[in-house]
Amino acid sequence: MGDFGAIGDAVTGGVLARVVEPQAGEADTGHTHEKACLNCGTKLSGAYCYVCGQKAHVHRSVRGFFQDFIAGLFNFEGKIWRTLPMLAWCPGLMTRRYIAGERARFISPVALYLFTVFAMFAVLNFTGALGSSNAGAHLKEGLKTEIQENQKKLAALEVKRNLAAGAKQDVASLDKQIAKRKEDIADSQMALSGNFVQADTDNDTPGWLRPFLNNIRENPDAVSMKVQDAASKYSWLLIPISVPFMWMLFPFRRKYNTYDHMVFVTYSLSFMMMLVIVGGVLIEVGLSAVAGFLFFVPPFHMYRHLKQSYELGRFSAIMRTMALLTFCFIAAALFIASAVAIGAA
């Protein structure tokens, strides 16, 4: 019986092995041998279909699956190491080459943008830069600390004022400082209790904005998470928001169309998000001072990107860079407002 059991185990193992990985010489070798493309049905005349580009023979095995996985990984890795250096130092040259048709050498702007968006939010969440679910608690603690500091400063001002009054000195300036400090304390106490938002929504705030403010006051943690989720989910909105500003930079240059502007914007946004990733990592490892220097990179990068992409002179590139910086703040404000509106709705 033991021999029969061993034979049965061997047969079972062999069957399972064939299911997982068919052996060579069998009917199913893990490769298809077709005369017509399995994707579009076109008659094959080479290693690839000349209509849709699919391989003539595809793998249908676990080994083939991992071979495709590794090939895809190294293909992306190979492209990214060609793309990133050019994006950092010669962004305009890469943009022009991509627009001209050199697509196989570089990661497409959309693929790079989606990758950097995912990486940015992952890094910011990991480092805690986006805050935790206890955002409301952190805000209250900050307000309490601010109130305590202002109260200490107020007490010091009152002592100084009493001494000056005893010496018959002018105390008008000190009275103004004391009044301002009391006003700051009162505002912080109102914000801490929630009455500030409530009063604002009851008086001067437009009716369409009141529900948002009330929601923020009542559910700060939930709103914070929703805003982060909306910013991640609708990050693609930055592209259509930004493209009209590129039209404004080049109103009379018909040589460059909307597609060119979209490629420029998408690559530029991808680079800026990479800067955010680098900054988040530097802050996390305690190099905040080094991360501060990254604020000087965007203007320089925008200048080179504009100058190379649109073949501009130095003065023209500088003027357009200044305008583009202003447009970036406007586009960012519009996007943040949209994310907050979606999150607070």
pLDDT digits (tens, 9 = 90+) for 194-232: 554 544 445 555 555 566 666 666 666 666 677 777 788
Structure confidence by residue, pLDDT tens digits, 236-249: 889 999 999 999 99
Q: What tokens appear for 242 in the block? A: 């930004």
As a whole number of angstroms, the distance between CA 342 and CA 230 comes to 7
**Sequence-ordered list of residues with C-beta below 8 angstroms from that of 304, at least 6 positions apart, any chain:** 89, 90, 91, 92
As a whole number of angstroms, the distance between CA 81 and CA 103 comes to 15
Torsional class of 106: left (φ above 0), alpha (ψ -120 to 50), beta (otherwise): beta
Q: Confidence class of residue 56 from pLDDT cuts 50, 70 and 90?
A: confident
**Taking 70 as the threshold, does the pLDDT of residue 189 lie above it?**
yes
Q: How far is CA 215 from CA 130, 181, 188, 232, 255, in A?
A: 20, 30, 19, 21, 48
Mean pLDDT of the 162-169 span: 81
Considering Cα of 273, then 275, then 280, then 284, what sign does the dihedral take? positive
Nearest residue to 93 via CA among 305, 263, 320: 305
Considering Cα of 257, then 258, then 262, then 265, what sign does the dihedral take? positive
As a whole number of angstroms, the distance between CA 234 and CA 117 comes to 10
